[in-house]
Structure 1
Amino acid sequence: MNKDQWIGMCLAMMGAIFWGLSGTAVQYLESAKHINVEWLLEVRLLVAGLLTIIIAYVREGNRTFSVFSSPKDILQLLIFGAIGISLGQYTYFRAIGISGVGIATVLQYVASSMIIIYFLLRYFRKPSIAEIVCVGLAFFGTLCIVMQHGFDFAAINREALFWGLLSAASISVYTVQPVSLLKRYGTIPIVGFAMFICGILAVFLFQQFESEAIWDGMTWLGLFAIIILGTVVSFNAFMEGIRRIGSIQGSILSSIEPISATFFGWAIMGDDFTITGLLGIACIISTIFILAWDRQRQMKREVLKKLNKEEIV
């Protein structure tokens, strides 16, 4: 595996880690500071989107706005923002409100399987054995982490199942759909405009102008973790990661999020680990090494094929 692929894997993992931190911060602000989730979603998208656009403009100048020269690409940008980013966050929050973060997170990680099925049906791309194993390990590991204090499936109801699977579908969209846009225009401008435009749409949809929060230093720290680390840094890092390594590998590596959430939950919220939770962490971490081995094996096979063709010629 070359340097670019290693960087892609590290970026995808960084995004997942900061997502976990962001989720813990959301839980803290909801439970301890009584913040309004709809208001938080609006502010998160608007502020993070605007900051990302500014960063893109500083780095690339007027090229930042190149995506708006193509009506087709504008449509793709809106689909990515509305269905991939905004709907993904909203449906995840709804699922948490109905069934709790454990069940919601398990349902969310059905996304990896959805992506593999999508590639199989549309492009007849058969997943490798390593990818199938990693999907299974990632899902089982996530299940162990979020339900480490007891496996109780009685909490799942139809409404929770609907919102949870819709969240997984949204994750599939923002993992697969924007890849071509990212390659043409770069990661930062696309993510920035998608967030900002959909932040405006969220304001019109929810019309929540009051945070209802208890404001102090910890509230501002929580917002920093959610907006800057958990949105600006995480989304851009993850999108750049999948641009380098592909959608399927990126979606599997995103399963590191529950490890991050578990750790930060222990460090910040006082949550504890169990043997089941540690088993889940081990399963998810193992997918990183399996994917690295699989990519290296595929590259060696491609090199050998190329050498054999040159010998025949």
Structure 2
Amino acid sequence: MSKIAIDTSVAPVPRSALVAGLAIAIAGAILFSTKAVVAKLLYRYHIDAVTLIAFRMLFSLPVFAGVAIWKMRTQPPLSVRDRWRLVGLGLVGYYLSSYLDFLGLQYISVGLERLILFLTPTFVLLITAVFLKRRIGAAQWLALGLSYCGIVLVFVHDLGAGAGSIVTGSLLVLGSAVAYAAYLLGTGEMVRRIGSLRLVAYAMCVSSAACIAQFFILRPASLLVQPLQVYGLSLVNGIFCTIFPVFMTMIAVQRIGAPVASQAGMIGPVSTLFLGWAILGEPITAVQLGGTGLVLAGIYLLSLKKT
């Protein structure tokens, strides 16, 4: 991935366009975060990560395949180099990242998983500064710091009360964060050259094929027969936690750039606070609400950023 030409810069945009891009990134992040809650609900039916991610991709693949076929018929063919890059991005960004994430959720809580995944903006900014020699503005660092303080406050209890093997689960989710940061930056140049819809559709087809193939290699086909609730939750996972946020994230990256889009997505972990309360019956404390306020303050600072 380090040899891939990455360009995360974006042309100057009006304030209204920046705010619209941030809104898309935030909505996508919330939907992405919902998959952790859905995964916890699915694990109650005693399925494993391999089966969970296979069902997720089985329900989302038809949409991505339809978009891919449409783009193949209406757009010029890609170069051999771009095809291989898309294969690599699909395997790293949504196959490896998602698989490691769902594996980690078997060992740690939703809160801790979200906290670790939000090291992703740190990796994005670090790669941008080190490899692209691009200066990170003070407002971005301040927004990042405020948001991380809020996340720590929101999930401080989860850090000390996680169940299962905390070390194993944390390392798996950390690997997921690194993989997704590499994917997000790797798409920066390609998304403007070939378009967000085309890139996402092709990359997700690669990822879906890998996830489904992994299931049939590692698990018996009889595991495709599951309770009706598993199919329903998997449908939610495939459509609302995969299809919608994937396209929304790419649109946001195209409009406001990878570093800003990844930081705006910090609202995602905070959304799990309310999802956990509404769906899993987890309480909301004053400390958690205070953390939510800090994260929202960080998002507001990003909306004031001049590009």
TM over 0.5: yes
Aligned to 2:51: 39
The answer as to 2:235 corresponding to 1:228 is no
Cα distance in 2 between the residues matched to 1:230 and 1:215 = 20
| 2:113 aligned with 1:100 | no
RMSD: 2.5
Which residue matches 1:266? 277
Q: 2:141, 2:225 → 1: CA distance?
A: 44
Conserved? CA contact 1:47–1:196, under 8 Å:
no
Asked if the contact 2:24/2:252 (under 8 Å) is kept, the reply is yes
Deviations 1:187-236 (A, max 9, x none): 222212212222222233342334477523x4443223210011010110
CA distance in 1, matches of 2:21, 2:252: 4
Q: Pairwise mapping of residues 87-166 of structure 1 onto structure 2 (< 5 A)? A: 87-148=96-157, 151=160, 158-166=167-175
Between 1:42-51 and 1:176-185, the stretch displaced more is 42-51
Aligned: 1:289 with 2:303: no
Work out the CA distance in 2 between the residues paired with 1:86 and 1:130: 33
Q: Which residue of 1 aligns with 2:203?
A: 194
CA distance in 2, matches of 1:108, 1:210: 33
Change (3 A) 1:126 1:156: farther
The alpha carbon displacement at 1:241 in A equals 0.6
- Structure 1 CA distance for aligned equivalents of residues 21 and 175 of structure 2: 27
Are the equivalent residues in 2 in contact too, given 1:191–1:235 (CA < 8 A)? yes
**What amino acid maps onto 1:27 in structure 2?**
K
CA displacement, residues 24-73 of structure 1 (integer Å, 9 cap, x when unaligned): 11111112x33332122123224323312314655x57135x4x521111
2:179 equivalent to 1:167 = no
**Do the aligned partners of 1:253 and 1:288 also contact (CA within 8 Å) in 2?**
yes
Q: Pick the aligned partner of 1:26 from 26, 32, 39.
A: 39
Which letter does structure 1 place at the counterpart of 2:301?
A: I
In the alignment, which residue of structure 1 is the partner of 2:79?
Answer: 70
Further displaced range: 218-227 or 112-121: 218-227
Q: What is the percent sequence identity of the aligned residues?
A: 20
Listed as ranges, the gaps of 5+ residues in structure 1 are 299-313
Q: Which amino acid aligns with 1:16?
A: A
The one-letter code sitting in structure 2 at the alignment partner of 1:180 is E
- 8 A Cα contact 2:24 2:249, kept in partner: yes
Please identify runs of 4+ aligned residues in structure 1 that moved more than 6 A.
Answer: 153-156
Asked if the contact 1:13–1:256 (Cα under 8 Å) also holds between the matched residues in 2, the reply is yes
Q: Does 1:242 align with 2:253?
A: yes
2:66 alignment partner, one of 40, 44, 54: 54
Determine the C-alpha separation between the residues in 1 that align with 2:297 and 2:270: 12
**Per the alignment, do residues 203 and 240 of structure 1 end up closer, same or farther by CA in structure 2, a change over 3 Å counting?**
same
Q: Which amino acid aligns with 2:51?
A: W
Kept in 2: contact 1:108–1:167 (CA 8 A): yes
Unaligned 5+ segments in structure 2 are: 1-13
Quickly say closer, same or farther: Cα 1:170–1:210, change in 2 above 3 A: farther
CA distance in 2, matches of 1:156, 1:139: 24
User: Normalised by the size of structure 1, how large is the TM-score?
Assistant: 0.83
After TM superposition, the score normalised by the length of structure 2 is: 0.85
Judged with a 3 Å threshold, the aligned counterparts in structure 2 of structure 1 residues 263 and 153 are, in CA distance, closer, same or farther, namely: closer
Higher mean C-alpha deviation, range 119-128 or range 98-107: 98-107
Q: 1:251 aligned to 2:262?
A: yes
**Take 2:188 and 2:199, find their aligned partners in 1: how far apart are those partners?**
10
Output one character per residue of 1:150-205: Cα deviation in whole Å (capped at 9) or x when no partner.
74699885534432321111120222111222112222222122122222222333
